Each structure stands twice: as C-alpha cells, then as structure tokens.
Copies of this chain bind each other. A is one copy, B any other.
Amino acid sequence: METLIRKLESFGSLTDDDKLAIRSIEAQERIVVARKDIIVEGDDPSYVHLITSGLACRYKLIEDAKRQIVAYLLPGDFCDLHVFILNAMDHSIGAISGCTVVDIPRSSILDLLEQPRLSRALLMATLVDEATLREWITNIGQRRADERIAHLYCELYARMKAVGLANGGSFELPITQTELGDTVGLSTVHVNRSLQSLREQGLIELHRGSLQIPDIIRLKTMSGFKSNYLHLADN
C-alpha cells in the first residue's frame, strides 16, 4: 500500500489520517506470474485491483488476433477503479513481469472516497490516465516509429522515477519487442530496427530487461516529449 500512498502524494500532500485510512485496508495480496492475465473481460467486479509490484498492461484484442496495449500499470496503479461505475470491463489486464496484486473490496474503496483529500487524489489519478491516453493517440497518430518508442520510454521513465523505481537514468523494463509493437502500432520487425537506430544514435541502452537512458534531454527532444500531462511534482 506504500506505493499507492507514494503515488497519491505526488499529486498533493496527504494527512496522517489519509495515510492511516489507506494502510488499514484489509486486503488479500496475491502473486501473478509473468505473462498471465490479472483480470479478464467479465471478471467479478466486487473487488478493485491494485498493482503493488511488477509491471502490467491494459490491452484490447480485436479479431482474436491483433492486440493493442492501451496502458502500462506500475506499482500504485489501480487496474479498474472504473468498474465501480461501469460494471463491465471492456478490456483485460495482463502481467508483463511477475506482479503482486491486492484485491480490495468495493466497500473499502467507498471508505477511502469519504476522505476529501483522497477522493480528490483518486479523481486526479483518473484524469491523468485520461490525459495519458490522449497523449498516446497523438503519439501513434503523428509520430514516426523511432519517435513513438522514444516518447513511450520518456513517459515510462518519468513514471518510474515518480514511484522510486528508477535510479540514475535507468530502470527495469522487461517488455518484449512484440509487446512494444502492440503498444505503438508497429510490427515486431520494425520495432527491432527502430530500436537499433535508437541504440546507434546513443539514445538508449538495453540489456536484459533494463533500459538505460544516457541523456534524457536528448531523448525528450527527439520525441517531442513534454511531461506536463502526467502532472507529476518533480520533472
């Protein structure tokens, strides 16, 4: 739950009461193996799911064959705060790396929403998600292959840093090239070649699921990344 607190605090300070309310949630923690689904369309909506460690993604399938990843979920992110209202998942959540997930009963969430500061922070998190989706549309719609990937990397770096998972210019990112392609709307082959180009330009270094960004300014410039939409305190 500390990751959640950390995230919400990046949107504005919380009182000790607020933190206590979060820490006192009774919730089951479970472990999800890498590449397994955490939630599938039509799962029991009586629990809300929070990622506490690992990396997950939100995705849609079309025609059983093509897949589009529409979001990455980091520790502290909710999978389905909206199921609350909508009662139906129109997509699934899959674990990229091994994840720990807590299943929180709806009632506990309702309790949290009683605290004005918390409900505001949660609403803010939802709005940032929305702004991120708009940014992704722009990314896929307007940028070239290498720029798209670079932009995604800048975003993930900023978010990882915000939850304390980046040290220096590097962080763990065990994303497959196929998954990258499903994220930015490119074929695996072309992702591979674009990554090579980024590496040759010295913009990124990748070794075994770990991404190193030697010069973040340069990566931001070439991809047109502006972090304002994430509404993070620093950076």
Contact = CB atoms under 8 A, between A and B. Distances in A.
Given A86-B231, A130-B130, 13 more contacts: A58-B134, A62-B142, A63-B224, A66-B142, A68-B138, A70-B137, A82-B127, A86-B127, A136-B137, A137-B137, A140-B141, A141-B184, A142-B185
Please report whether the interface of chain A is mostly helix, strand, loop or mixed according to DSSP: helix
Interface stretch (A20-28, A118-126, A159-167, A210-218): A118-126
A137 B138 contact: no
Contact of A70 (B60, B85, B138): B138
A15 B62 CA distance: 39
A90 B184 contact: no
Contact of A85 (B68, B120, B224): B120
How many copies the complex holds: the figure is 2
Contacts of A143: 62
Nearest to A147: B62
A90 B229 contact: yes
A206 interface: no
Contacts of A82: 127, 130
A185 B139 CA distance: 10
Nearest to A135: B60
Interface residues of A, number: 40
Interface of A: 58, 60, 62-63, 66, 68, 70-71, 82, 85-86, 88, 90-91, 120, 123-124, 126-131, 133-138, 140-143, 182, 184-185, 224, 228-229, 231
A228 B88 contact: yes
10 contacts: A62-B143, A63-B224, A71-B134, A85-B123, A90-B228, A126-B130, A130-B133, A133-B133, A137-B137, A140-B185
Nearest to A131: B90
Closest 4 pairs (CB-CB, A-B): A141-B185, A133-B133, A68-B138, A70-B134
Given A137-B68, A138-B62, A224-B63, A126 B124 contact: no
A68 B130 contact: no
Contact of A129 (B85, B90, B130, B224): B130
Contact of A134 (B60, B127, B142, B228): B60
A85 B228 contact: no
